[in-house]
Amino acid sequence: MRPPLVLTVAGSDSGGGAGIQADLKTMLALGTHGMSVLTAVTAQNSLGVQGAWELPVAAVRAQYRSVVDDIGVHAVKTGMLSSAELVEAVAELIDGTDAPAVVDPVGVSKHGDALLAASALDSVRTRLLPVATVATPNLDEVAQLTGVRVGSEADLRRAASAVLEYGPRWVLVKGGHLPGDAVDLLTDGSEEHWLRGPRLDNRHTHGTGCTLASAVACGLAKGQPVPDAVRAAKEYVTGAIRSGFALGAGIGPVDHGWELGRPS
């Protein structure tokens, strides 16, 4: 039987913990067929991003059309889009595709390296967020996009409302950077779903955001309603963080294959 088809439009992380690599591993782990449109290449490892190179808009459009026009797609996920030109091209492609879209508005890596030009923020607000079925900003991305600074769980509702102003159907504000429980808020402005996970004491968390957004896209591709897809994705990323492992000298990746178990 044909598995659900999920497409990631994102950048490459040479270290394999985030970006396209995290997305495709998540898609395999969750029983879907993963496909990719590469937007940029990064030289990246456990210590940070050492270099980044964008692909031309024409190359991004061509990859997208190749996949969607022949194979088809049940859900799209976006990650690193790098520039205003790429953000606008991808927003237009998504707008013309009959599939839900999970938009992870990736701005800065865990190490503080910029993955999106400052000049692209307005295109994210006005072009990309309006075509999102679910937007999944972390707290730094909420601040960049809306100016709302979240200092505690109580601020998450205000942050979510500010993002919803730009037009995504749902927003999942990730509270992973707050102290205490790992609490995220999913809302469409009328329903609210609080997702509370234990704070795991593991520094090897590279790729959490990409993994969560891809897992949501997998659920949507399977036909799950947004709240169910997000709940399942939160469980998957929590397991992946619990099993995150050391690699290199810095922050290691989450374990996308945690449900498979590993020989000790």
Ligand X SMILES: Nc1ncnc2c1ncn2[C@@H]1O[C@H](COP(=O)(O)OP(=O)(O)O)[C@@H](O)[C@H]1O
Ligand Y SMILES: Cc1ncc(COP(=O)(O)OP(=O)(O)O)c(N)n1
Residues that are catalytic: 174, 205, 207-210
State the number of binding residues for ligand Y (CB under 6 A).
19
Nearer to ligand X, 92 or 140 (CB): 140
Residue 237 interacts, among ligand X, ligand Y, none and using kind-specific CB cut-offs from 5 to 8 Å, with ligand X
Q: Is 54 helix (H, G, I), strand (E, B) or coil?
A: strand
Query: Smallest distance, Å, CB 254 to ligand X?
Result: 8
Q: How many helices (H) and strands (E) does the chain have?
A: 8, 9
> Phi and psi of 241, rounded to 5°?
-70, -40
In the set 7, 13, 142, 219, which binds ligand Y (CB under 6 A)? 13
Question: Is residue 232 within 8 Å of residue 219, measured between CB atoms?
Answer: yes
Nearer to ligand X, 72 or 239 (CB): 239
Nearer to ligand X, 131 or 251 (CB): 251
The strands making up 5-13's β-sheet, listed across from edge to edge, are 48-54, 33-45, 5-13, 75-78, 101-103, 134-135, 170-174, 182-187, 192-197
The residue range among 27-35, 70-78, 106-114, 154-162 that interacts with ligand Y, by the rule CB under 6 A, is 106-114
In the set 204, 206, 222, 234, which binds ligand Y (CB under 6 A)? 206
Query: Smallest distance, Å, CB 252 to ligand Y?
Result: 10
Residue 219 interacts, among ligand X, ligand Y, none and using kind-specific CB cut-offs from 5 to 8 Å, with none
Query: Smallest distance, Å, CB 59 to ligand X?
Result: 26
Residue 78 interacts, among ligand X, ligand Y, none and using kind-specific CB cut-offs from 5 to 8 Å, with none
Interface residue list for ligand X (CB under 6 A)? 138, 174-177, 182, 184, 197, 199-200, 205, 208-209, 212, 234, 237-238, 241
Give, for 64, the enclosing helix (H) or strand (E). helix 57-66
Q: How buried is 48 (Cβ within 10 angstroms: 0-12 exposed, 13-18 middle, 19+ buried)?
A: middle
In the set 60, 150, 210, 221, which binds ligand Y (CB under 6 A)? 210
Question: Is residue 145 within 8 Å of residue 125, measured between CB atoms?
Answer: yes
Query: Smallest distance, Å, CB 173 to ligand Y?
Result: 14
Angle at 240 between CA 238 and CA 241, to 5 degrees: 65
> In the beta sheet, which residues pair with residue 97?
none
Query: Smallest distance, Å, CB 197 to ligand X?
Result: 5
Count of CB atoms situated within 10 Å of the CB of 147:
8
